[in-house]
Amino acid sequence: MNSSSDNYKRDIEVRIPVDSINLEGNLNIPEGARGIVIFVHGSGSSRHSPRNQYVADELRRAGLGTLLFDLLTIEEERIDMMTRHLRFDIELLSKRLIDVTGWVLNRPETRGLNIGYFGASTGAAAALIAAKEYATAVKAVVSRGGRPDLAESALIHVKAPTLLIVGGKDIQVIDLNKWALERIVALDKELKIVPGATHLFEEPGALEEVARLAGKWFTRYLADGV
């Protein structure tokens, strides 16, 4: 699952100012990209998540830009490893995503690109809240094994086309996603269940299916300009 390729620009390490801190990220924009997907990682993860790295690589092969960034600083990650409370602080995570989205909208090489969010676990809730705040800029949302139910108050305001992907063996999360799907007001919304997959999509072919579904969704709403 190598994320390097001659088909797109080399990975650029960026520091994104948010309030009084800087968040570390990796920005990659293929030549001719018409959209960029901002990755919002989940509980206890980071921009180095091999699952998100793999999906990001596949999206870049489809001609989409990607931004993977850390929602927490190194010091905050140390604290969270002990307390596990920051990863569930949806208000904090969504606020940071909103600020990062503003940074993307104003950066020369990304200004004007259609924006999509790819959220995993608790990151999916942050993505949906930010999609409510940036209703005109965010054109699509994809959730992988996400907790969209944690964005309850924002769901009735989410108009961006939203795809929820859940593993077939992730029973509790399936129910939570069904509940959330009913409340999302987007005209185009779907729940896709990957048969035989558990929460982390570690089974053979499961993550590949996630990447295929996400790529199709983002290409439709970001690259194709629908």
pLDDT, tens digit (0-9, with 9 covering 90-100), for 46-71: 676 788 899 999 999 999 999 999 88
Residue 123 lies in a domain: yes
- CA dist 9 to 14, 109, 121, 163, 176, Å? 14, 12, 29, 28, 38
Structure-model confidence comparison of residues 77 and 8, the more confident one: 77
Separation CA 140–CA 189 (nearest Å) = 10
Residue 6 lies in a domain: no
Statement: residue 41 has pLDDT above 90: no
Residue 5 lies in a domain: no
Residue 146 lies in a domain: yes
Residue 47 lies in a domain: yes
Mean pLDDT along residues 84-96: 78
* Contact in structure between 149 and 174 (CB atoms under 8 Å): no
Residue 7 lies in a domain: no
Type of residue numbered 185: V
Q: pTM value?
A: 0.90
Mean pLDDT along residues 168-191: 97
Q: In this predicted model, what pLDDT tens digit does every residue of 128-152 receive, in sequence order?
A: 999 999 999 999 999 999 999 999 9
Q: Give me the domain span that covers residue 135.
A: 12-223
User: CATH number for the domain including 166?
Assistant: 3.40.50.1820
Separation CA 56–CA 53 (nearest Å) = 5
> For the chain, what is the domain count?
1
